[in-house]
Chain A
């Protein structure tokens, strides 16, 4: 298949706009103008449509088949949410409208969506206030870290360090680092839970925060979370909750109840907004009362007459972390989702997510190594350690699954498990779908013993086979030259 620029035909036009209807031309002097046109495509609309249609057919989405990518919550993206987001009354709104005249009266509908979503997230997670500004989970983590820094600065605390478990997602330490903190890693014990003793030995007066995911990236819930909170708060270290795994615990656990001070949620994970091939997402941040004053501005307030307004009257706010109010169209989808499900629906989500993951784990435990064989939550971690004896690695198993028409689980994460395969089926997968996946995994385990070479060659049914990633880095061909 050719690169779109290779399909250009000189002089061909795609979208045509109407001729200018004004009787004047701009007077921009030539010294400000480009000397040469940008060499963009010259294609007809049909060519463009065919090109992208062909590209889409080389892709795999949740709508294709099971997508058990651990830590990503690849659940069904309801089409209803797409319909709401496309409504002209939302999609065409300029973000500066509420700032044009006092009171935000031009955008009451949009402000209502944002305000009410914040309230719902507070109730779901047990927090006191939310900001919807962060445009991704990592952005939420960074915002949370900035809020913590502001909190300590306000109290004249000299805190330079953040403690993070070794199984944490890479965005945790990188977000803490970008916020200006040093990162120290805390080990996980042999039961797959944070090593409390190591935590007690490492925490000190200079600890600003502890970042936790619960259930953690191994899919295990830490029952000693109250003890961790007590240790943290003894030093006035703030407890941060990475909400990436919220799909496991809705209606069963609220971070706010368990003394977490600040957290983020991933709307594109738990709240069904589409992943888009790598975004856009949204990572709203929730805080307890004592941190509310530091939230980014603007904030949305509800007046006594029931109308909504933007407020910037928060002198201790960390300022702007986004140009406006967050990824509104994503928030809108999440809001529609929560209204569709209600309390009962969200609880069912977590119950089925956890059941599905445990079902997969128990079905495969005789075929693959399970490093922590105990009840998991919404995801389980297997290891290809057994298969390694036949020189079959996790990556081979992943590539083999592709030939079965299944997207592989996350591999090589978390880093603390050798040959890790992290499986998160999500609640929207049916038993038949899970059985198909389990069956494929069992057959692959058998092939690892009888015909490992076939696994090394996988995948063979896709548009391309395994790619030369070393050559990719060496050649650095990031831009087409014709």
Chain B
């Protein structure tokens, strides 16, 4: 089920905000559509991302999906474990499969995101 403790984008990323920092990953729906994930091009630490800006790529055997930042901020950390075990994004997209961390986030942008219920409704409408 869609975790209630975070917000969602129309491009299927989730973001968990804590004060001025944010943790970002992709949703269960996204990992399921992609299939077995084989490689992740992670954002660069220190790069300044804009909301909805392209910041990485998630590759599976048959597809490649761009990663968009849900919120503006500066990248402070990336999940380097994904370099050797990209499948963590498939098995645990909301936990071990986190992708990157931001700080200095733009708090005003949080309101533009969907909460868990809104995201689930959005998924239904996409079918």
**Contacts from A to B (Cβ < 8 Å):** 412, 469-470, 472-474
| Nearest A residue (CB) for B39 | A473
The answer for the CA separation of A69 and B89 in the assembled complex, in Å, is 34
Which residues of the other chain, B, contact A469 by a CB distance below 8 angstroms? 61-62
Which residues of the other chain, B, contact A472 by a CB distance below 8 angstroms? 61
Give me 12 A-to-B residue pairs in the complex whose CB atoms sit less than 8 angstroms apart, sorted by A's number.
A412-B62, A469-B61, A469-B62, A470-B36, A470-B38, A470-B61, A472-B61, A473-B38, A473-B39, A473-B59, A473-B61, A474-B38
Which residues of the other chain, B, contact A473 by a CB distance below 8 angstroms? 38-39, 59, 61
Which residues of the other chain, B, contact A474 by a CB distance below 8 angstroms? 38
Which residues of the other chain, B, contact A412 by a CB distance below 8 angstroms? 62
Which residues of the other chain, A, contact B39 by a CB distance below 8 angstroms? 473
The answer for the CA separation of A470 and B36 in the assembled complex, in Å, is 7
Closest 9 CB pairs of A and B: A473-B38, A470-B36, A469-B61, A470-B61, A473-B61, A474-B38, A470-B38, A473-B39, A412-B62
- State the Cβ distance, B122 to closest chain A Cβ, in Å: 19
The answer for the CA separation of A472 and B61 in the assembled complex, in Å, is 9
Q: Number of contact residues on B: which range applies?
A: under 10
The answer for the CA separation of A469 and B38 in the assembled complex, in Å, is 10
Within residues 57 to 72 of chain B, which ones have a CB less than 8 A from any CB in chain A?
Answer: 59, 61-62
- State the Cβ distance, B14 to closest chain A Cβ, in Å: 24
The answer for the CA separation of A472 and B59 in the assembled complex, in Å, is 13
Q: Chain B 84-95 against A: per-residue CB contact (8 Å), 1 yes, 0 no?
A: 000000000000
The answer for the CA separation of A47 and B58 in the assembled complex, in Å, is 44
Which residues of the other chain, B, contact A470 by a CB distance below 8 angstroms? 36, 38, 61
The answer for the CA separation of A247 and B38 in the assembled complex, in Å, is 38
Q: Chain B 25-49 against A: per-residue CB contact (8 Å), 1 yes, 0 no?
A: 0000000000010110000000000
- State the Cβ distance, B84 to closest chain A Cβ, in Å: 10
With most chain A CB atoms within 10 A of its CB, the pick from B38, B39, B59 is B38
- State the Cβ distance, A347 to closest chain B Cβ, in Å: 39
Given A469-B62, A470-B36, 10 extra CB contacts under 8 A:
A412-B62, A469-B61, A470-B38, A470-B61, A472-B61, A473-B38, A473-B39, A473-B59, A473-B61, A474-B38
- State the Cβ distance, A327 to closest chain B Cβ, in Å: 30
The answer for the CA separation of A412 and B62 in the assembled complex, in Å, is 10
- State the Cβ distance, A474 to closest chain B Cβ, in Å: 6
- State the Cβ distance, A476 to closest chain B Cβ, in Å: 10
Which residues of the other chain, A, contact B38 by a CB distance below 8 angstroms? 470, 473-474
Q: Chain B 103-124 against A: per-residue CB contact (8 Å), 1 yes, 0 no?
A: 0000000000000000000000
The answer for the CA separation of A469 and B39 in the assembled complex, in Å, is 13
The answer for the CA separation of A292 and B101 in the assembled complex, in Å, is 54
Which residues of the other chain, A, contact B62 by a CB distance below 8 angstroms? 412, 469
Which residues of the other chain, A, contact B61 by a CB distance below 8 angstroms? 469-470, 472-473
With most chain A CB atoms within 10 A of its CB, the pick from B36, B39, B59, B62 is B36
| Nearest B residue (CB) for A412 | B62
- State the Cβ distance, A158 to closest chain B Cβ, in Å: 25
| Nearest B residue (CB) for A472 | B61
| Nearest B residue (CB) for A473 | B38
The answer for the CA separation of A92 and B62 in the assembled complex, in Å, is 42
The answer for the CA separation of A470 and B62 in the assembled complex, in Å, is 9
Which residues of the other chain, A, contact B59 by a CB distance below 8 angstroms? 473
The answer for the CA separation of A474 and B90 in the assembled complex, in Å, is 15
- State the Cβ distance, A466 to closest chain B Cβ, in Å: 12
- State the Cβ distance, A358 to closest chain B Cβ, in Å: 30
The answer for the CA separation of A470 and B37 in the assembled complex, in Å, is 8
